[in-house]
Structure 1
């Protein structure tokens, strides 16, 4: 895995909104396995999930990797501080896309609306929409963004980082989790959607057949 030279890592703000949205809208959708399974498109996400990017960047917790200073944004991780009001606002917009609502119901079932209780703190960041441009994948860029997020979170008094992941190897190879631990999981073949009563994700294949919440304690 060759590393990338001439990268600059920066804390992102709303001034980076255009570049961040372009990267995420073009390349996150195609890598999110639950969405791919449901034929989720960026058009499904733009009115709801992607519309939150600006407010997330406004928190000043997210990080981007730029090639040749500001010439090209090649990777991003959106770090979002716990905010019940933002969650409620998002929940109210879910009628726009049934595919989005289906995925949201899965996240609620695993505990997505109870993260502060599960983690035992409200001082956490949820790591969302981590995306690397295809030209820069498998070069260590995302692990570096996560490492730098850990440092930044500690500096700001954050106690835990949490991520949602659809990946059963995290259960089988915990030594490769870089300090993250599995705290909740659902086998997708057994999950029943509470609205439709259907096993909506039962056809997902390994290694993307288990939905996880993983967390890292910053002590």
Structure 2
């Protein structure tokens, strides 16, 4: 029997590099706001805006049984100096980086069926540095890495990990796939996997 995977944020660069590979092993349910270019690789596409209708989106995604893994890839960021960020833009970024992943994880923890559950956060190497115009992005990505460490202590029944690629344009598909395979087979929670861009 094939394993099931929920891919939250099933569009964009990371998704394009990962979903075709993962579809060889997993039945994938994808969540995306509107873009559907990877739908041929999915057993189901849930379309909706997590910021305005997350309950309906998660209801649809969790309707048909258990997941062996969830990959959280949904993101919003604003290219501007951190000091020019608005409260609203920071709330939007934090919602997709931390608050909504927590809502999803709680749903996942309550679901039955999978013997081993994995929650994987697609973060970034910007969690460990700063770049002009991406201050709030760095803050949110650091929050995701910290979140995974906290979840490893608080949620022993789910193996929580993060992947931190650098620039997705420069990160090869092979390197990203190697990292996702590592975390999908990890036995220890709280691991932060830096993508080896030399591959």
The normalised TM-score by structure 1 is: 0.32
Greater Rg by CA: 1
Q: TM-score, normalised by structure 2?
A: 0.35
Flag the structure with more relative contact order, 1 or 2, with Cα contacts below 8 A and sequence separation at least 6: 1
- Return the structure number with greater strand share: 1
